[in-house]
Amino acid sequence: MRLDLPKIYPITDTRLSGLSHAGQVARLIEGGASLIQLRDKLSAPREFYREAAAALQIARDHGARLIINDRVDIALALKADGVHLGQTDIPVAAARRLLGKETIIGFSTHNMEQAKLAANLPVDYLAFGPIFPTSTKENPEPVTGLVAMSEVATSKGSLPLVAIGGITFENAREVLKAGADTVAVIAELVADPRKIAENTSRMLALLSLISLMPNLSSPG
């Protein structure tokens, strides 16, 4: 069945926010997030596992879904809601065999060729980007721009499309209008730890207007 995604998909970053994953998840949920990804390229697996367990407890208490970046083992061990895999992680089909059919599997793509191949894989959503320049990811792939993303949106079939990379208050509406179902956002939501809840609710409000007023112009 097609996965129903909220308009925003925040991703945690402990280095940028200076907060634990659990601390970020609590604030993101306070702001209205219902699907959150834990991303951690720095911690040892044991540390990430411990942090993810705490974050998952908070998510469960509030009915939010939690996706683990990269680590199928941690997602499996904690019975998280899903895992997010990239082009160099373990193959999606292998992850699917381990996790079963109910667990969400998201998959990162960075160009049309990868997106086309992904359409035949057992994934629940396709991520595409970086749409805009980003300084959050180390060694990011080349910026795709919105035109390439629109082409993916029209050719991918029914898979939900998550746009990622450099998404801000300024451009998020444009991204959804160009065909993405959801925006995955790190810096704009979590870089200022004092404003995580506020930023999340503000972006949700900005994007929920889209379905009500499709012709709204971009914020000035």
Residue closer to ligand TZP (CB basis): 95 or 183: 183
Is 208 annotated as catalytic? no
Q: How far is the CB of 118 from ligand TZP (least distance, A)?
A: 15
Q: Which does 161 bind (CB under 5 to 8 A by kind): Mg ion, ligand TZP, none?
A: none
Helix (H), strand (E), coil (C) string for the chain: CCCCCCCEEEECCHHHHCCCHHHHHHHHHHCCCCEEEECCCCCCHHHHHHHHHHHHHHHHHCCCEEEEECCHHHHHHHCCCEEEECCCCCCHHHHHHHHCCCCEEEEEECCHHHHHHHCCCCCCEEEECCCCCCCCCCCCCCCCHHHHHHHHHHHCCCCCEEEECCCCCCCHHHHHHCCCCEEEECHHHHCCHHHHHHHHHHHHHHHHHHHHCCCCCCCC
Which residues from 141-200 bind ligand TZP, rule CB under 6 A?
A: 164-167, 185-187
Which of 19, 60 has the CB closer to ligand TZP?
Answer: 19
The listed partner (Mg ion, ligand TZP, none) that binds 136, CB under 5 to 8 Å by sort, is ligand TZP
State which H helix or E strand residue 118 sits in: helix 112-118
Q: Which does 89 bind (CB under 5 to 8 A by kind): ligand TZP, Mg ion, none?
A: Mg ion
Which of the following is catalytic: 7, 27, 34, 39? 39
The residue (of 60 and 169) whose beta carbon lies closer to ligand TZP is: 169
- Count of residues that interact with ligand TZP, criterion CB under 6 A: 13
137 is an active site residue: yes
Which is closer to Mg ion, CB of 27 or CB of 110? Answer: 110
Residue type, 136: T
- Per-position DSSP letters for 17-42, written without gaps between them: H-S-HHHHHHHHHHTT--EEEE--SS
- Among positions 92-151, residues that touch ligand TZP (CB under 6 A) are 129-130, 134, 136-137, 140
The residue type found at 10 is P
**Interface with Mg ion by CB under 5 A: which residues?**
70, 86, 89
27 is catalytic: no
Active site residue: 17, 27, 71, 108, which one?
108
Compute the least distance from the CB of residue 1 to ligand TZP, in Å. Answer: 26
Name which of 31 and 129 has its Cβ closer to ligand TZP.
129
| Tokens standing for residue 123 | 């994934």
| Active site residues per annotation | 39, 108, 137
- Which residues sit at the interface with ligand TZP, rule CB under 6 A? 129-130, 134, 136-137, 140, 164-167, 185-187
